[in-house]
A and B are shown apart, each in its own frame.
Chain A
Amino acid sequence: MSKKMQITLTVNGETQELLAEPRELLIYVLRERLNITGPHVGCETSHCGACTVTMDGKSVKSCTVFAAQANGAEITTIEGIGSPDSLHVLQNAFREHHGLQCGFCTPGMITRATKLLEDNPNPTEEDVRFGMAGNLCRCTGYQNIVKSVLAAATELSAAKEAAE
Chain B
Amino acid sequence: MIPAAFEYYRPESLQDALSLLQTHGDDARVMAGGHSLIPMMKLRMAEVPHLIDLQAIADLRGIRVDGDTVSIGAMVTQHEVIESTDLLRAAPILREAALQIADPQVRYMGTIGGNVANGDPGNDMPGIMQCLGAEFSLIGPDGTRTVAARNFFEAAYMTARTDEEILTRITFPAHAGGFAYEKQKRKIGDYATAAAAVLLTKEGGTCATASIAMTNLSDVPVWSEAAAAALDGTACDSGAIAKAMAAMDGDIDPGEDNRGPVAFKRHVAGITLSRAITRAWSRA
Contact = CB atoms under 8 A, between A and B. Distances in A.
- Do any beta carbons of A and B sit within 8 angstroms of each other in the complex? yes
Nearest to B187: A133
Interface stretch (B16-24, B104-112, B162-170): B104-112
Interface in A20-52: 21-23, 25, 44-47, 49, 52
A47 B1 CA distance: 14
A52 B105 contact: yes
Contacts of B79: 58
Nearest to B188: A133
Interface residues of A, number: 30
A64 B35 CA distance: 7
B42 A2 contact: no
Contact of A68 (B10, B42, B103, B108): B10
A133 B189 contact: yes
Given A44-B42, A64-B34, A66-B8, A134 B3 contact: no
Interface string A57-86: 011110011101101000000000000000
A134 B109 contact: no
Interface string B103-143: 11110110000000000000000000000000000000000
B215 to A, nearest CB: 20
A115 to B, nearest CB: 8
Contacts of B108: 58-60
Contacts of B3: 23
Contacts of A23: 2-6, 41
A112 B106 CA distance: 12
A5 interface: yes
Nearest to A44: B1
Nearest to A2: B5
Contacts of B43: 45
Contacts of B250: none
Q: Which of B7, B34, B42, B103 has the most CB of A within 10 A?
A: B103
A21 B8 CA distance: 9
Given A22-B51, A58-B79, A2 B105 contact: no
B51 A46 contact: no
Given A44-B1, A45-B42, A58 B109 contact: yes
B35 to A, nearest CB: 6
B38 A134 contact: no
Contacts of B7: 2-3, 22
A162 interface: no
B184 interface: no
Given A68-B8, A69-B55, A134 B39 contact: no
Contacts of B5: 1-2, 21-23
Contacts of B96: none
A2 B188 contact: no
16 contacts: A1-B5, A3-B7, A23-B4, A45-B39, A47-B189, A59-B108, A60-B105, A61-B106, A61-B109, A64-B34, A64-B38, A64-B39, A69-B34, A112-B105, A134-B105, A134-B189
Interface of B: 1-8, 10, 34-35, 38-39, 41-43, 51, 53, 55, 79, 102-106, 108-109, 188-189
Please name the 3 residue pairs, one residue from A and one from B, whose CB atoms are nearest each other, closest first. Answer: A134-B103, A22-B8, A58-B108
